[in-house]
Structure 1
Amino acid sequence: MIARPARSSEPTVDEASAWAHVLVRLRLLHAAVLTPTGQWLVQDKPDGPVHVLTGPADVLALAATIQHHTRSTKPESR
């Protein structure tokens, strides 16, 4: 695996919003809503619990976790 360089800045709300939109559109999350306080409310399935994320960095961490899980459980296509 190729190591990625460390981020030089904190994730932005726009970046988190883009990831949240993609995760919902691909049905990897049921909902992701930005609150006026800057927190995110996320739900992985319609009848599941609502989780509170404190900011953009948490949204990106969730996206990375979902991406890792999706890639590690996907059958090899080689």
Structure 2
Amino acid sequence: MISHPPLPSEPTTAEAMAWAHVLVRRGLLHASVLTPTGQWLVQDHPASPVRILAGPADVLALAATFQQRTRSTRPETR
């Protein structure tokens, strides 16, 4: 029998909270707030509009976007 890697599971609220905290701490977001409905309110800068993210998957997608931008702007060190 061939073993296949497990399918990725849906991101949890705990994972999203951890990533949101990192994004704010690193200054990539000004604020992030989890609402009672499971949506996330995020703000890039103090004067920017608040965006609504549907759930944990959107928070992780935002974190991935920041990671991609960071990696693509770093000079190659090889």
Calculate percent identity across the aligned residue pairs: 73
Runs of 4+ in 1 over 4 A off after TM superposition: none
| Distance in 1 (alpha carbons) for counterparts of 2:48 and 2:6 | 33
* Other-structure match for 2:64: 64
| Distance in 1 (alpha carbons) for counterparts of 2:45 and 2:77 | 28
| Distance in 1 (alpha carbons) for counterparts of 2:43 and 2:18 | 16
* Other-structure match for 2:46: 46
Q: Which runs of 5+ in 2 are unaligned?
A: none
Q: Which runs of 5+ in 1 are unaligned?
A: none
TM superposition shift of 1:7: 4.8
Residue deviations 1:1-51 (CA, integer Å, cap 9, x gap)? xxxx78521000000000000000000111111001100000111111110
Aligned residues: 74
* Other-structure match for 2:30: 30
Structure 1 or 2, whichever has the larger Rg, is 2
Calculate the TM-score normalised by the size of structure 2.
0.87
Q: What's the Cα RMSD here?
A: 1.5
